[in-house]
Amino acid sequence: MDTAAPRFDNRLLSLLPGDPEAGPRRREVLGAAWSAVMPTPVAAPALLAWSPDVAALLGFDDADVASDDFAQVFGGNALYAGMQPWAANYGGHQFGHWAGQLGDGRAISLGELVAADGRHWELQLKGAGPTPYSRGADGRAVLRSSIREFLCSEAMHHLGVPTTRALSLVGTGEDVVRDMFYDGHPRAEPGAVVCRVSPSFLRFGSFELPASRGETALLQQLVDACIARDFPELQGQGEALYGDWFAQVAVRTAEMIAHWMRVGFVHGVMNTDNLSVLGLTLDYGPYGWVEDFDPDWTPNTTDAQGRRYRFGTQPQVAYWNLNRLAQALSPLFADVAPLQAGLAAYQATFVACTRRDAAAKLGLAAADDADLQLYQRWQQLMQDGAMDMTLAWRALMRIDPAAPERAVLDAVYYDAERQQAVQAPLQQWLQDYAARLQADPLSASARATKMAAANPLYVLRNWLAQEAIDRAEQGDMEGVRVLQEVLRDPYTERAGLEHFAGKRPAWADNRAGCSMLSCSS
């Protein structure tokens, strides 16, 4: 690409009313879906990491990425022709309570790039400075959280989980002061900017805000714009079209959540302003991967008491959030039946996805109700025995149906007493599982292939991310680069990568950034 001339078609701005006032002054923004605001320049933008896959998707080659222009643009100091920076206006329910106007407080969209294949990609800088929605904050982001978002966006894509992507990670050359756990101990940390990439960053809260204000005309404009831009395959008009759209949002949400549950991902802060209407994993903050299997685990210290967003409740929370979206959309419907049908589609889709994933993870051609019970018994054993979720599922791939041995699981436990306590029920379960495998039509090789494609070996455990962050904060980005490469192929076991497939080490049990995370960035 000639980086002087990437093509932009900023459809969202042309389809929706904007804020008559430009600039970052904090304010309530009424009757508008976005506010024009420029990124705040930084002292010394330097490219720290980038995704070759995303660069190619957008049409940037290695020379483009290596140019000074690239770091200047994606650090917030310059624009390509055609970019029209804006921050989106939206609200949301946070931890179950309506929070009113929220908006992009530290994210600024640069524009919608049109790729060579005709697809549109919204490019958004996170950490690019204050916006009208910053609510008293500085709009910046620190290196540690930016590394986590950069790595996880791409890791989730390679896991097969619907997600926004990440193009680049740019250091700012400036420090940002953050109180990581809101406990009165702020410190200066290196700043960074991530370029996030998605067809759209519209979220449930985008529609909740105008509905809460009685701005029905704007609500309808938002729905129309979203369908035209992001769901062009939908046909029809009026309530029938809106009902089909809501059902699509619900189905995509169910598919995304099912993938989270399949790989052990915990989002950590499933507020309605953090759920994409495209069914893409959005806003990587205090996320984590389940290690010793516990449906009640949450990585978010802010959620530690109520555990609203714990691993096991994610499907129910998504359904609750969809109900809030349906409530917001109700002024566009004379009859709530289409909205109820969409909610039912979520439930049916999630059940179907769970059945599909249970079969794949267990290595079965298909899963009936009895197989789902087998699946649930295994999950209970993982919990009771304090087994590492990722490693326990991979260990099942080594079970010999003719002679199932508990020894294949010896390396997956975190607690010797709990390991011992589950040995008898585990042996019974393995015998039942072996009998089920012998009755299944899949061949041994087909079963192994199916299980390997559903059960990842390399996931972005918080302690692995923290190791890379520790090095990066000392100026060494090699840890990020290596981890990024490992996570590009999460399902294939490779020699020499044992460290990245290990259980959580003892040093990480109570380490900030590993066992404890917050929304602070």
Q: Could you give the CA distance from residue 359 to residue 448 in angstroms, rounded to a whole number?
A: 12
The whole-angstrom separation of Cα 231 and Cα 241 is 11
Contact criterion met (CB below 8 Å) for 325 and 209: no
Q: Which two tokens stand for residue 28?
A: 């309530």
| Tokens, residue 427 | 């042996």
The answer to whether 113 touches 231, Cβ cutoff 8 Å, is no
Identify whether the C-beta of residue 114 lies closer than 8 Å to the C-beta of residue 7.
Answer: yes
The Cα 166–Cα 197 span in angstroms is 6
Question: What does the alpha-carbon distance between residue 415 and residue 412 come to, in Å, rounded to a whole number?
Answer: 10
CA distance 481 to 50: 9
Q: 201: helix, coil or strand?
A: coil
| Environment class of 403 (CB within 10 Å of its CB; exposed 0-12, middle 13-18, buried 19+) | exposed
Q: Active site includes 273?
A: yes
Tokens in use for 6?
């990437």
Write the CB contacts of 362 (distance below 8 Å, at least 6 apart in sequence): 371, 374, 375, 378, 396, 433, 436, 451
DSSP, collapsed to helix, strand or coil, labels residue 252 as helix
**Residue tagged active-site, from 104, 244, 273, 371:** 273
Q: Alpha-carbon distance 485 to 65, whole Å?
A: 18
CB-based contact 362:377 (threshold 8 Å): no
Residue 391, CA distances (Å) to 290, 396, 472, 475 in order: 11, 9, 28, 32
| Phi-psi sector, 22: left (phi>0), alpha (psi -120 to 50), beta | beta
Q: Which residues pair with 177 in a beta bridge?
A: 188
Q: Kindly state the tokens that stand for 114.
A: 């049109």
Q: Are strands 86-88 and 120-126 parallel, antiparallel or unpaired?
A: unpaired
Cα-based torsion angle of the residue sequence 334, 337, 338, 342 in order, rounded to the nearest 10 degrees:
140
Q: Which two tokens stand for residue 133?
A: 């929605």
* CB-CB contact of 301 with 286 (8 Å): yes
Which residue matches tokens 């205090």?
286
DSSP 125: E
Task: Supply the residues annotated as catalytic.
Answer: 273
